[in-house]
Amino acid sequence: SSAGVVTVKPWSVKVKIATFKLLKPLGFAKIRELFIAPDAKNMSHEMYETFKNVVDEDFESEFAKSQSRALCFWGIDDTATPLYTGEKIAGLIKNSKFYPLEGEHFFFLKHAKFIAFEIENDINQKRL
């Protein structure tokens, strides 16, 4: 799964962001751990700022220009990058295959063998 399709943040996320921005100037920056996404829990401040920029980046036009083959694997229950964003990316990339898989944002841990098999199969088919 990937960032690249901008999504509307849920109200609960907007409240967390606003609360942190309000508390930060008051010296509560150390409570950052309570507010950041699970993906970013162990990141340095600098890396977290980069992470936020990447997550909010819109790459739809880049996906649409892609001439490459792409295999798009996505967690059906992913709330960080919802299924519809993966479907949109796969729809924008002309030569893509979309694989919705059981699981959330870290679905690939459960499906590593299947994903590896599909990648190898795709590579081998191209050689034929």
- Break the chain into its structural domains and give their ranges: 11-55, 60-127
Q: 96 pLDDT exceeds 50? A: yes
| Residue 63 burial (C-beta neighbours within 10 Å; 0-12, 13-18, 19+) | buried
Confidence (pTM):
0.72
% of the chain with per-residue pLDDT over 90: 50
pLDDT-based confidence at residue 1 (cuts at 50, 70, 90): very low
Beta bridge partners of 100: 74
Asked if residue 70 has pLDDT above 80, the reply is yes
Q: What are the C-alpha distances in Å from 32 to residues 40, 75, 78, 81?
A: 11, 27, 23, 22
Q: How far apart are CA 81 and CA 88, in angstroms?
A: 11
pLDDT band, very low/low/confident/very high, at 9 (cuts 50, 70, 90): confident
Q: What is the mean pLDDT of residues 68-78?
A: 96
For the chain, the average pLDDT equals 86
Number of Cβ within 10 Å of residue 27's Cβ equals 8
